[in-house]
Amino acid sequence: AMDAAAAHLVGTHDFAGFSKRHHGRESTVRTVTACRVRAAGPARVRIDIRGDGFLWNMVRIIAGTLLEAGAGRLDPGEMPDVIASRDRTRAGRTLPAEGLCLMWIRYDGDPPAEQLAAEVEDGLDAIIARAALAAMPADQDADADADADADTELVPDDGGGLRDGGA
């Protein structure tokens, strides 16, 4: 029921009913490009939501609304009416922030969202490596480092990090 309700969130909608009152935004129209719910263990779910931007508390309110559908208190077929109403009282409660995790922000020129999602699913190594390269000082001479460390090969370790492969 939760995943069926989540499917109705995909698209461009006015999400005024899924935002904290007095949020200060000129527009409450946002585009949700993907929203999925799946089991993540006993009595746990994972909600993956992707969009072009989110309002204050929007994701927490969406999660609370999907929880209502999962508990049988909201029919998934009612979601289009809840969205169209723009009425905050028709959506679910605002869930606490515990467990909420921003996985990435995609900018123009970044790899497609599907590729980023696959990287997250496969592990964070590629994202961590990309962040480490981006953090390298611009004046650092990578060729000089390569010459100095020619005998060093970095390989993945059991803990998800990198270690000296020659050691």
pLDDT digits (tens, 9 = 90+) for 48-100: 898 888 898 999 999 999 999 999 999 999 999 999 999 999 999 999 888 77
Question: Which residues have CB under 8 Å from 103's CB, separation 6+?
Answer: 120
Instruction: Give CA–CA dist 133/73, Å, rounded.
Output: 48
Let me know if 35 is exposed, middle or buried by CB neighbors in 10 A (0-12, 13-18, 19+). Answer: buried
To the nearest 10°, report the CA torsion of 50, 116, 2, 59.
Answer: -40
For residues 82 and 58, what is the distance between their CA atoms, to the nearest angstrom? 14
What would the two tokens of residue 118 be?
Answer: 């696959």
The per-residue pLDDT for range 86-134, each reduced to its tens digit, is 999 999 999 988 877 777 777 777 777 667 666 666 554 444 454 544 5
Q: What is the pLDDT of residue 39?
A: 85
What local confidence, expressed as pLDDT, does residue 88 receive? Answer: 94
At 4, which helix (H) or strand (E)?
helix 2-7
Residue 20 is predicted with a pLDDT of: 81
DSSP single-letter state for residue 112: P
d(CA 157, CA 131): 18
Which uninterrupted H or E stretch holds 30? strand 29-39
The pLDDT value given to residue 41? 78
State both tokens at 67.
Answer: 């929880």
pTM over cut 0.85: no
pLDDT score, position 8? 97
